[in-house]
Amino acid sequence: RSLKQQDSGEFLNQHDQTKASDALPLPLYVTINGLFFTMFFSVMYFLLQRWREKIRTSTALHVVTYSEMAALVSLVASFIYILGFFGFDFVQSILRPSPASWIIEDDNMEEDKPVKPCGQALVPHILPTNSTSEMEVETKKPPPTMEYNSQENEEIVKQVVAGSIPSYALESKLGDCKRAASVRREALERITGKSLTGMPLDGFDYESILGQCCEMPVGYIQIPVGIAGPLLLNGAEFSVPMATTEGCLVASTNRGCKAIYVSGGATCMLLRDGMTRAPVVRFGSAKRAAELKLFLEDPEKFDTLAVVFNKSSRFGKLQSIKCAIAGKNIYIRFCCSTGDAMGMNMVSKGVQNVLDYLQTDFSDMDVMGISGNYCSDKKPAAVNWIEGRGKSVVCEAVIKEEVVRKVLKTSVASLVELNMVKNLTGSAMAGALGGFNAHASNIVSAIYIATGQDPAQNVESSHCITMMEAINDGKDLHVSVTMPSIEVGTVGGGTQLASQAACLNLLGVKGASKEEPGSNSRVLATIVAGSVLAGELSLMSAIAAGQLVKSHMKYTDLPEI
């Protein structure tokens, strides 16, 4: 058998080394390939230039000239040649069986018998067997792991400490992310003279963050995750994961969820859904900046700009363009849908497409930066409070008088009065920007960390105004939160990490929605708003009842309110 396997391997190696291109003499082979490669890229460049010119002049793309028809024919012909010439072996492998199947084994017929009864093959581990096939042995083997002795690691640590190996290059040099983190950690302790004892290293998939979530890791931080709920929202129940180290926060939010649940639930509506990016460009005069503003805001130009913007993604669709001028500088705020992604990278790519396109008619335009802070990202800004960014959501509930009294331990009149003097008047006195609430950022931050969102976007995502009003002759409480800039996604970034993905899965919004792109991220935004509503209800009730200090004495320090 071993000799036959060897002969078979040699035959396959010889077959793999034979290519379709070997049938041609070398000079002719090089000449033909050069000709078709030149033809392919030349006509491709020609067609792209023609397509760009048609977009610029608003000419229909399906109207073609004779030269364009000839270019299309040449493009197809050269593509077929390149595909057929270099993909011939691949096509053959599909149309005919592998040569290995031609080799006939004539060993003892006992080897053809199944190693397991048919029923056991379908349900493994029911009947133990002593004999196993070579295939089963292969599947049972654990994935190979590379082991390194302490002396090898010691040498690398010394080189990192000496500076001969950059710390950031350890992953690429060692080819093992876990080992790179361990070496970097040891080198850091020696350089600083400080111990990292208490920060865990094991039990984390460092491959999952390489080039995506975190550079030069030395371990990870443990943050406990609590569950608030069930939150009854739009007729569905959600168990809300909250990652926090602040005592009483989860318990308080949970009490608010209970008050909402027994009152019939909350209703949440999505008002807008669009991520923004605003580059800043400069001209030689304010007149030229104004001309670009008029060009970009011309409704007749929007469709052409949308085609240019949308070509970088099937989910990123341009919705609007808003411009602001400061002297010779113009700030262009692009807004687009981004599917289930939070979408900053997606919108940035679309913006770059438009900026490149504008250079044709505005060659004197100087792009100062892809972001000019008119977006505005990770900073409190009135433009987000007024225009919205990400998901704009309003969430409301009617809390019955009995629930306010028995669950929240206060009265409707006390809550309405406190909301007026604290969340509205008090915030106005402080000159708050989007901060007309009790502690929306507490809930937003906890959910963001648990579900893999960008914690820094808590700044604008926590913009919230809490309203409370007595209804039904003052017996019941109508409470609402309006949040114009919740920035969340269910794909990309930290959402791919195991723990964060588990929290998204708990909410039923893990990954991208196949049925309705973008629906998972929209549901997540409503869950954030509904949880904020619960948190506002509970904290405001604790303050109105004078229970805040007493309740927090059971846990830790008081939260900032």
- The model's pLDDT over 190-235, given as tens digits with 9 standing for 90+, comes to 999 999 999 999 999 999 999 889 999 999 999 999 999 999 999 9
**pLDDT the model gives residue 30:** 58
Answer yes or no: is 26 within a domain. no
Q: What is the mean pLDDT of residues 82-111?
A: 46
First to last CA, the chain: 78
Task: Give yes or no for a contact between 488 and 525, defined as CB atoms under 8 angstroms apart.
Answer: yes
Question: What is the mean pLDDT of the segment spanning 121-137?
Answer: 35
Look at residue 148 and tell me if it is in a domain.
no
256 and 335 share a domain? no
d(CA 488, CA 313): 18
For the segment 76-93, the average pLDDT, to the nearest whole number, is 63
Rg (CA), the chain: 32
Report the CATH number at residue 328. 3.30.70.420
Confidence of residue 112 (pLDDT cuts 50, 70, 90): very low
pLDDT at 178 > cutoff 70 = yes
- What CA–CA distances, in Å, run from 389 to 58, 254, 274, 305, 464? 31, 28, 6, 21, 13
Whether residue 487 is found in the same domain as residue 432: yes
One domain for residues 292 and 399: no
- The counts of H helices and E strands in the chain are 22, 11
Annotated catalytic residue: which of 189, 401, 454, 469? Answer: 454
What separation in angstroms does the CA of 266 have from each of 98, 162, 257, 284?
62, 60, 9, 54
Per-residue pLDDT band for 79 (boundaries 50, 70, 90) equals: confident
Contact by Cβ (8 Å): 273, 305: no
Decide if 542 is inside a domain. yes
Is 454 catalytic? The answer is yes
> Does residue 310 lie in a domain region?
yes
**Do 410 and 300 fall into the same domain?**
no
Using the predicted structure, report yes or no on whether residue 18 has a pLDDT greater than 80.
Answer: no
- The domain total for the chain is 2
Question: Same domain for 323 and 259?
Answer: no
Do 451 and 533 belong to one domain? yes
In a domain, 154, yes or no: no
The band of 127, judged by pLDDT with boundaries at 50, 70 and 90, is very low
Query: What CATH number is given to the structural domain containing 241?
Result: 3.90.770.10
Task: Please report the pLDDT score of residue 86 as a whole number.
Answer: 59
Q: pLDDT exceeding 70 applies to what percent of the chain?
A: 80
Domain that holds residue 283: 279-369
Residues 359 and 343 in one domain: yes
pLDDT score of 37 = 80
Q: Has residue 9 got a pLDDT over 70?
A: no
Output the pTM of the full model.
Answer: 0.73
- What average pLDDT does the chain have? 84
Q: Would you say residue 25 lies in a domain?
A: no
Strand partners, 243: 225
Of the CA atoms within 13 Å of residue 365, those in its CB half-sphere come to 24
> Phi, psi (5° rounding) for residue 525?
-65, -40
User: Which of 119-123, 233-237, 357-361, 557-561 bottoms out in mean pLDDT, i.e. has the lowest?
Assistant: 119-123
Which pLDDT score is estimated for 174? 93
Q: Which residues pair with 272 in a beta bridge?
A: 392
Residues of 372-393 as b/e, b for ≥16 C-beta within 10 angstroms? bebbbbbeebebbbebbbbbbb
Q: Between these two residues, 11 and 480, which has the higher pLDDT value?
A: 480
Check whether residue 421 and residue 542 sit in a common domain: yes
- Residue 515 CA to residue 293 CA, distance in Å, equals 38
Is 552 annotated as catalytic?
yes
Looking at the fold, whether 363 and 401 belong to one and the same domain comes out as: no
Q: Verify that 399 and 254 share a domain, yes or no.
A: yes
Number of other residues whose CB lies within 10 A of the CB of residue 547 = 14
* Predicted confidence (pLDDT) per residue in 246-274, tens digit: 999 999 999 999 999 999 999 999 999 99
The one catalytic residue in 378, 396, 401, 409 is: 378
Note the pLDDT of residue 560.
Answer: 53
Does residue 111 form part of some domain? no
Q: Is the pLDDT of residue 122 over 50?
A: no
What CA–CA distance (Å, rounded) separates 162 from 165?
A: 8
Question: Which of 137-141, 458-462, 540-544 has the weakest average pLDDT?
Answer: 137-141
- Residue 144: pLDDT band with limits 50, 70, 90: very low
As a residue count, the chain comes to 561
Q: Which of 369, 403, 423 is the last residue of a domain?
A: 369
- Domain end position, chosen among 369, 402, 426: 369
Which residue in the list 171, 186, 246, 536 is annotated as catalytic? 246
Shared domain for 436 and 486, answered yes or no, is: yes
pLDDT of 55 above 90:
no
The residue with greater pLDDT, 51 or 224, is 224
> Active-site residue 246, yes or no?
yes
Same domain, 262 and 287: no
Segment 62-82 shows an average pLDDT of 81
Q: What is the mean pLDDT of residues 479-483?
A: 98
Q: Is residue 266 part of a domain?
A: yes
pLDDT value of residue 368: 97
